[in-house]
Structure 1
Amino acid sequence: MATIRAATPADLPAILDIHNEAIENTTAIWDETPVELADRVRWYERLVTSGHPVLVAETGGQVAGYASYGPFRPRSSYRHTVEDSVYVHRDHRRRGIARELLVSLLGEACDAPDVHVVLALIESGNTVSIELHEDLGFEQVGHLAEVGRKFDRWLDLTILRCAVG
């Protein structure tokens, strides 16, 4: 079992490593180019200053994964809808850490007075993540075929929704 806690700036190098590994080796993140630490610093500061959580899972003193949610779209009409992100270090996958992170993240959303819906936009081939979200109360509400391209193949997007407030 991991310790789930609020991320700090000291966690950003570990978060960067997890993020870039997902960019380079998976379709969990659709970016194709790894980012620099400054990118993760801006991301962290943007979320934290706007009151959104950034959580880490720590095992044995190491960051094993991270999760956050942030604005779904920039228009004010979407202000009560957030999009989640959950990523686990490659050496810690399939150990329940993503579940622990997502449960904690949903708890944060339920306690936030301004969050009504949490969305998850997941590459359709990532059935493990889709099933995890469904296990925790998300329902599939959409499927967008061939809307992304990475690793020389088209990617589909599955949209899941969970009402929390």
Structure 2
Amino acid sequence: MLIRDATPADAAAIAAIYNDAVAHTTAVWNDTPVDADDRRAWMQARMAQGYPVLVAEAGGQVLGYASFGDWRAFAGYRHTVEHSVYVHPGARGQGVGRALLLALIARARAAGKHVMVAAVEAGNTPSIALHESLGFVRTGLMPQVGAKFGRWLDLAFLQLRLDDRAAP
């Protein structure tokens, strides 16, 4: 498996993975599928801000993708990023998410970020376990802040301190 920077040619595969999450999971709290043009625009916006979009690839197939961006849009939060990782349904449980998240953590450290935040649907125990196995700690729970598939969803927050700086 190769972890690499995404290119515009990956947009259709990224859209397909995202759309599967929209249709079948609570990993993304959106009900609207996207197309390749939407994902190309999203990738361009992320990259224009200096943030990575990574893909995991094997045998010419995109198995998953990941990115991070601003956690909040205020200057005081500039040292903190929030990430997302999505894996093709046929590749889940095979280490793709772990490899992508490890690569994102390395990129965030290289960019001088201090904290990486994960916002995970509280019932997504595999994602929470993955994050905790990489050193993320649970920092909060927001009950019933989302809705999908006719039910309320709780949002769990986890964070990873990326460095030991005493001050920014």
Q: TM-score range by the shorter chain?
A: over 0.9
In structure 2, the residue corresponding to 1:52 is in which secondary structure? coil
CA distance in 2, matches of 1:133, 1:3: 21
After TM superposition, give the deviation of residue 70 of structure 1 in Å: 0.5
Spell out the pairing of 1:9-158 with structure 2 (5 A cutoff): 9-113=8-112, 115-158=113-156
2:12–2:35 CA contact under 8 A, matched in 1: no
Distance in 2 between the 1:63 and 1:37 partners? 14
> Runs in 1 of length 4+ with deviation above 6 angstroms?
none
1:112-158 deviation digits (Å, cap 9, x = unpaired) = 12x11100000001000001001001000000000000000000000
Q: Deviations over 1:76-114 (max 9, x none)?
A: 21111110100000111110110011011101111112x
What secondary structure sits across from 1:45 in the alignment? helix
Structure 2 unaligned spans of 5+: 164-168
The question of whether the paired residues in 1 share the 8 Å contact of 2:79 and 2:115 is answered with yes
| Shift, 1:38, TM fit | 2.5
SS at structure 1 position matched to 2:135: coil
TM-score scaled to structure 2, two decimals? 0.95
CA contact (8 A) 2:136 2:158 kept: yes
Shift of 1:40: 1.1
Q: Pairwise CA RMSD of aligned residues?
A: 0.8
Letter in 1 for 2:114: H
Number of residue equivalences: 163
**Post-superposition offset of 1:37:** 2.3
Identify unmatched segments of 5+ residues in structure 1.
none
Displacement of 1:43 in angstroms is 1.1
One-letter amino acid of the counterpart of residue 95, structure 2: G
